[in-house]
Structure 1
């Protein structure tokens, strides 16, 4: 790694190493990531369209799901097109300005999803634990307020973390990653990052751990309510309404916590690239499948739309 002096990266930009460490795998990665990205675009766009076209999906659950799909579209698009260019060998560079912008966008969207998953947990809590008051509790105004709060929280989180990161002088211009991610940038810091890491840790606890605790707390109440349901059919229905969300929460928080809540000196750049590949490519592709394969309403809406298309011919 080049160590030409402080702030050399701001003058020259960065070289993204990507997966050039494994040149024999770059073509394989390019093909599979292209396929996964196409499926991500198709699946998430389909959920957004269906949630608007079918009146049965005009409920808080699908309102939040449509926003989650929009987030996944934005998140994967902020990194994957550049990764495909990197894998093709056409351009492995990124300017300092684009790198800062990418860092801010990724942190913003990740923070929004953290809070949005809490809003979805609140919705599931109301559906299972307060079914008679569900429509009153999950009022459209509250749903819109929760989404707005998610965006505000994500943007504030990104401003704080990006500001803390960019206040540190950076040495060198080579990033052993395929996009500008916080732990990799911290490794380029010319000075001791102990104070910055402590401040970043506090910010990450607020945006990652606190929402995770709220989600776990809501599901503790949900589990107690499900156990008290006498009929097995009722328990299966209650579990079915929450299983998809729990899977998405596990995928998202598992990868995010493993990346962002460990000290920088313990962060493995090689391992980090594959973990990042999971939450930037695989998870956004899986989310639509997780919800549609387990959800009769979404599958019914899909067949209804397809039926209209066939009838119009």
Structure 2
């Protein structure tokens, strides 16, 4: 294969080469994208406007919604444009931007331990909640998550695009690092492999921290005498744990398994599960299972209706 280091365009994987299926893919992704965008925007607006939601838990949920807005906007719009335009191309700079911003938002999301820690303190040490989860502590935790995401994405992007590429064909619907490493033609890709291995260690360490926190939370929840109290506590904890588990498990499969020689349906499904589903699920589970958010949204819609009248 010839050296394509100076390439200006990559070719992404098509969901189908049948025109009708390309249009179907466009509308499916459009619905998914609009659902994720509207859902997360509603959460942001509700939390910002309702002073009853100006608490640590909803502060972290606000940050999570903003991160999800960024994550879902990184690759879906480009994939939709390519489908409707019957194209596969993405510019070199566009590919770099996809890798950088996906890791920026995804790593920031994963680094946001504040939600787990907030629930841990609220349930396991309620008497010290006001002291521990003060405004300054919340801002510091959120800022640390954003900074960690920025450094993490810069590290991955730099080590990935330092390699020499021997092909411009990426067997994925967005610029995914394992697929980029597959088309490298020098040993520099081993640097990114090392970064991924180190990152996996950090990710599973963080996940272990989250699991330990929730184990302690569930032990305390089971001691709550009333069924209503237990249900309320579980409803604020389980959604976060479920989404984090889905993201980490599918992401680990995508990045740690050997890259197949040809594109497979399993690779495509896994990539959708870790890149698209979590930002889509978060607003659904947090609005359907959270009474405070539903009340805030109800007030907001009532105000809009009354204002229009």
Alignment of 1:233-312 (within 5 A): 233-264=228-259, 270-312=265-307
Alignment of 1:167-206 (within 5 A): 167-192=162-187, 195-196=190-191, 198-206=193-201
Matched, 1:226 2:224: no
- Asked if 1 retains the 8 angstrom alpha-carbon contact of 2:7 and 2:168, the reply is no
Distance 1:130 1:98, change over 3 A: same
Partner of 1:86: 82
- Asked if 1 retains the 8 angstrom alpha-carbon contact of 2:82 and 2:88, the reply is yes
**Which of 52, 55, 65 is the equivalent residue of 2:51?**
55
Count of residue pairs the alignment pairs up:
308
- How far the C-alpha of 1:197 sits from its partner, in A, is 5.2
**Worse overlay, 59-68 or 87-96:** 87-96
Consecutive aligned runs of 4 or more in structure 1 exceeding 4 Å deviation? 21-24, 265-269
**Worse overlay, 252-261 or 49-58:** 252-261
- How far the C-alpha of 1:89 sits from its partner, in A, is 3.2
Deviations 1:222-265 (A, max 9, x none): 12212232333332222222122122222222222221232445
Matched, 1:76 2:81: no
SS at match of 1:79: helix
Partner of 2:104: 108
**Worse overlay, 107-116 or 222-231:** 222-231
**Worse overlay, 191-200 or 211-220:** 191-200
- Asked if 2 retains the 8 angstrom alpha-carbon contact of 1:177 and 1:269, the reply is no
- Asked if 2 retains the 8 angstrom alpha-carbon contact of 1:108 and 1:155, the reply is yes
- Asked if 2 retains the 8 angstrom alpha-carbon contact of 1:16 and 1:179, the reply is yes
Q: Structure 1: how far apart are the matches of 2:66 and 2:192?
A: 31
- Asked if 1 retains the 8 angstrom alpha-carbon contact of 2:2 and 2:166, the reply is yes
Q: Structure 2: how far apart are the matches of 1:22 and 1:204?
A: 38
Structure 1 unaligned spans of 5+ = none
- Asked if 2 retains the 8 angstrom alpha-carbon contact of 1:293 and 1:299, the reply is yes
- Root-mean-square deviation over aligned CA pairs: 2.1
Partner of 1:64: 60
Partner of 2:158: 163
Partner of 1:154: 149
Partner of 2:12: 16
SS at match of 1:11: coil
Distance 1:267 1:206, change over 3 A: farther
- How far the C-alpha of 1:203 sits from its partner, in A, is 3.0
- Tell me the TM-score normalised to structure 1 length: 0.91
**Which of 27, 40, 43 is the equivalent residue of 1:44?**
40
Q: Relative contact order (alpha carbons < 8 A, sep ≥ 6): 1 or 2 greater? A: 1
- How far the C-alpha of 1:283 sits from its partner, in A, is 2.5
- How far the C-alpha of 1:120 sits from its partner, in A, is 1.0
Q: Structure 1: how far apart are the matches of 2:136 and 2:262?
A: 42
- How far the C-alpha of 1:198 sits from its partner, in A, is 4.3
SS at match of 2:6: helix
Q: Structure 2: how far apart are the matches of 1:190 and 1:74?
A: 32
